Amino acid sequence: MSTGAHAVITSDFPRWDRELLFEILDNIQDVVLIIDSNTTIVYANEAYARILGVPVTKVLGRRLDKIEPEAEAIEILRTGKPTKGGDYLDSLGIDVVGSSFPLYHGERIIGCVSTFKNITEVVELNRELQQTKGVADYLKEQLEQSEQLPLSFKEYVGQNSRLKETLLLAAKVARTNSTVLILGESGVGKEVLARAVHNSSRRTDKPLIKVNCAAIPEDLIESELFGYEDGAFTGAKKGGKLGKFELAHSGTIFLDEIGDMSLTMQAKLLRVLQEKEFERVGGTKTVKVDIRVIAATNRDLESMIEKGTFRRDLYYRLNIVPLNLTPLRERKDDLLTLAKTFLNQFAREVGHELELSSQVVRFFLEYDWPGNIRELQNVLEHASIVCSNKTIEIQHLPARVIPNNDEYSSVKDRPYAVKETVARVEKELILSALVANNNNRTKTMKALGISRRVFYDKLLRYGIG
């Protein structure tokens, strides 16, 4: 309610007339906007045009509830309560901060005055700052969690022809912005490949943010992915929190174990993938992001679609460039090279050289490796610790994988199993020759002294590809 004018008359200010007051209002640096009780805009100062980029003549006489129905001034006409703080103008896409108060004539509200400034740049800078801070926290957390350095394609161990094909495709798609879906059994190196794709993409200097969809509880996944506003739910951090999608802005988001996401979340994810925009939990403002998506799973998504546990439309969205990683048992030609890489690594850790006995090599080539490369790595780590000298023998392997028959104890124990033994030794020889000749087949068959036809025959028979 009006409390009367706080003004006096002096010789320089003989009178406080309309023109003088308008001149003052026009020169105020913040926007001053006045509406009447119908929300008709009755006054806007010059700062309005300068700050909002809209000529004053275009808005004078128009109704604010038609232009900006969510504006606080409209609410004030109803409540009579002055407000202070930030607001977002949907019609112009800018963030503002200021205050608004009602105008009274007697007891009746006849209008509302709003003064505010454009703080879009500040909000943007703040968002960048929050992102940088969030990414720094995330990377710190990751560093603490893993001792693994990211591998790029060059360091990706593997000569197998099917794997090479996958890697070539991966290198090709890495340069684009396409969504990549990495499929393969547990431990085949899906994450390693995801990092390689990111590292050889144009976004390599930008963050690669991993989300393990299987590890986040259902009720937290939405806020993990999209972030939340201040006070969105009990237990929420003050000031809100950025979600993984915002942290990944301008970089890559790696959605690991995508097959373990609930149908509700799948629907939300689909929208982000399609529109590249979302709202934070408890927020109304739409956040736009520029992200590259890499997803991975060891699940059979197609059979999940059949069962109705995975959305077909999401699958099509993700399955633009599928990269299939071959299980280790189907690329045994890489097994010894991989083993060598890991042995060198563990040899440095235990402080002495390490090698595999011929029995262990034979066992490795026959074993199924359900846990793939990760299992190989773990088996060798275990063995390198248990074995106190150079040669790793069968008994140094973890009990869970040690074959329980005596087949591996010694060839001498079963001197008459000629066929089996010959086949095993032959397969072993071919694999070692392939490794020694860097998978060059012509050189390998020469080294083995066999013809091309016999050589390919044997590759087929022993499942070496």
Q: Residue ranges of the alpha helices (H) in 146-276?
A: 161-174, 190-199, 218-226, 244-247, 263-275
Query: How does DSSP assign 328-365, residue by residue?
Result: GGG-GGGHHHHHHHHHHHHHHHHTS--EE-HHHHHHHH
In whole angstroms, the minimum distance from the beta carbon of 186 to ligand ATP comes to 4
Q: Nearest 5°: CA angle at 283, between 282 and 285?
A: 165
Site for ligand ATP, residues 376 to 405, rule: CB under 6 A? 377
Choose among 361, 365, 345: nearest CA to 353: 345
Distance from C-alpha of 261 to C-alpha of 244, rounded to nearest angstrom:
15
34 touches ligand ATP (CB under 6 A): no
158 touches ligand ATP (CB under 6 A): yes
Site for ligand ATP, residues 187 to 216, rule: CB under 6 A? 187-192
323 touches ligand ATP (CB under 6 A): no
User: With respect to Mg ion, which residue has the nearer C-beta, 182 or 387?
Assistant: 182
148 touches ligand ATP (CB under 6 A): yes
Distance from C-alpha of 305 to C-alpha of 300, rounded to nearest angstrom:
9
In whole angstroms, the minimum distance from the beta carbon of 214 to ligand ATP comes to 9
Distance from C-alpha of 428 to C-alpha of 424, rounded to nearest angstrom:
6
In whole angstroms, the minimum distance from the beta carbon of 366 to ligand ATP comes to 21
Stretch that binds Mg ion, among 183-191, 220-228, 316-324, 328-336 (CB under 5 A): 183-191
Please, how many CA atoms are within 13 Å of residue 87, restricted to the half-sphere of its CB? 22
Stretch that binds Mg ion, among 41-49, 60-68, 189-197, 214-222 (CB under 5 A): 189-197
Among 48, 138, 156, 364, binds ligand ATP (CB under 6 A): 156
375 touches Mg ion (CB under 5 A): no
298 interacts with, out of ligand ATP, Mg ion, none, CB within 5 to 8 A per kind: ligand ATP
User: With respect to ligand ATP, which residue has the nearer C-beta, 146 or 409?
Assistant: 146
Number of shown-chain residues binding Mg ion (CB under 5 A): 2
User: With respect to Mg ion, which residue has the nearer C-beta, 190 or 458?
Assistant: 190
User: With respect to Mg ion, which residue has the nearer C-beta, 328 or 445?
Assistant: 328
Amino acid symbol at 21: L
162 touches ligand ATP (CB under 6 A): no
191 touches Mg ion (CB under 5 A): yes
Q: Nearest 5°: CA angle at 441, between 437 and 442?
A: 100
List, in sequence order, every beta strand (DSSP E) within 20-107. Answer: 31-36, 41-44, 83-89, 94-105
Backbone φ and ψ of 179, nearest 5°: -70, 140
Residues that bind Mg ion (CB under 5 A): 190-191
Residues that bind ligand ATP (CB under 6 A): 148, 156-158, 184, 186-192, 298, 373-374, 377
